[in-house]
Amino acid sequence: MSADPIIRPITADELEEWGRAVNTGFLRSHPEGDLDLAFRREFFEPGRSLGAFDRDRVVGTFRSMRRDITVPGGAAVVADAVTNVIRRSYGTEHDGAPEQGVG
């Protein structure tokens, strides 16, 4: 492993490799192959999935997504849902939530 992984948004072409790293991070030993990739492609939002890269290999993952949540009184508001294996990315994403229209 190089000194510090490079953390950056992934491209659609990197989604399969990124998905393998997600499955490894969440201890999924039998990913669903093409079904898994199709599911990830369906919900992929450019700029919201990050990868930690050691050279060309994804060694960490981070994803945020917009989700509606219901608050007391029944109104729906947009929230920033997060799933990650890259701890230092969380602060950056959380800090940017207001600019993305979520909070």
| Residue-averaged pLDDT of the chain | 80
Q: Which domain holds residue 87?
A: 6-97
Work out the end-to-end distance of the chain between its first and last CA atoms, rounded to an integer number of angstroms: 36
Least trusted range by pLDDT, from 13-17, 20-24, 96-100: 96-100
**Which strand (E) or helix (H) includes residue 68?**
strand 57-70
5 or 35, which is more confident: 5
CATH number at residue 17: 3.40.630.30
Is 103 within a domain? no
pTM listed for this prediction? 0.67
Is 15 within a domain? yes
**H-state helical runs in the chain:** 15-25, 34-43, 87-96
